[in-house]
Amino acid sequence: MSAATEDRSKSFQYEVLAYSYYRDAELRGSNLIYRLLRILPDDESQILLSEHLADETRHAWLWTERIKELGAAPVPITDGYQVRIGKRAGLPRHPVDLLALTVVVEQRALKRYVEHLKRDDVPERTQEVLRAVSKDEGWHIDWVRKKGRDIAIEQGDPERFEEALERYRMIDREVWAELEDLESVWAPAVN
Ligand SMILES: [Fe+2]
Ligand SMILES: [Fe+2]
């Protein structure tokens, strides 16, 4: 294999794997939203969560479509961001905690996408997908954060939401450090 061919195949493998990680995070994120749908019965939540869930599953599809365009199939991911978060944080049962966890994972997703967009040599189509998915994350974060705060206040425990955010942010930082180490192994050429 020539050096140029080897380089191309390395970047192809990197793309398929990176998009598979994104896809996995979107699918598992959808699962959080689905759980919220079952525990937040009020009209506003039911409407917003339905749209939110539709967005997340569409994001998963956009990454799947991008992988398909490369002539590949999604790689099964068993050690991604959400799995690592779940192992440390468990699956919160209280709505305020679940909303706080959702804010933290959404913020991480947005950060990953924005940082990816800043790299050199991002293929045009990938830029399109990154922009499309990032566009929705803003309203997701805003409404979930507001809902978490409102419920905590209603329940007479206004600190609960901020405390939960702090707890999950700590876990997020640990998990992110692990994933960055992992990415530096399988994507040595990423700039
Ligand atoms: Fe998303
Ligand atoms: Fe989102």
1-56 pLDDT, tens digit each = 666 676 668 888 999 999 999 999 999 999 999 999 999 999 999 999 999 999 99
Tell me how far the alpha carbon of residue 102 lies from the centroid of ligand 2, in angstroms: 9
176 CB-contact burial (10 Å; exposed 0-12 / middle 13-18 / buried 19+): middle
Provide the residue ranges of all domains of the chain, joining segments of one domain with +: 9-186
What whole-number distance in Å separates Cα of residue 74 and Cα of residue 19?
8
Cα(151)–Cα(158) distance, integer angstroms: 8
**Do the Cβ atoms of 168 and 101 come closer than 8 Å?**
yes
CA of 28 to the centre of ligand 2 (A): 11
Q: Among candidates 144, 26, 37, which has minimal Cα distance to 96?
A: 144
Mean pLDDT of 120-142: 96
**Token couple for 23:** 């896809």
**Range from 6-10, 179-183, 186-190 carrying the lowest mean pLDDT:** 186-190
Whether the predicted pLDDT of 134 surpasses 90: yes
Gap from CA of 132 to ligand 2 centroid (Å):
11
Among the listed residues 88, 98, 108, the one whose alpha carbon sits nearest the alpha carbon of residue 164:
98
Q: Ligand 1 centroid vs 2 CA: distance in angstroms?
A: 38
152 C-beta neighbours (distance < 10 Å), count:
23
Residue 64 has pLDDT above 70, yes or no: yes
Q: 3-state DSSP call for residue 77?
A: coil
- CATH architecture assigned to 9-186: Up-down Bundle (1.20)
Q: Which residues surround ligand 1, an ion (CB under 5 A)?
A: 26, 56, 59
Question: ∠ CA 103-28-164 to the nearest 5 degrees?
Answer: 30
| pLDDT tens-digit series, residues 138-177 | 999 999 999 999 999 999 999 999 999 999 999 999 999 9
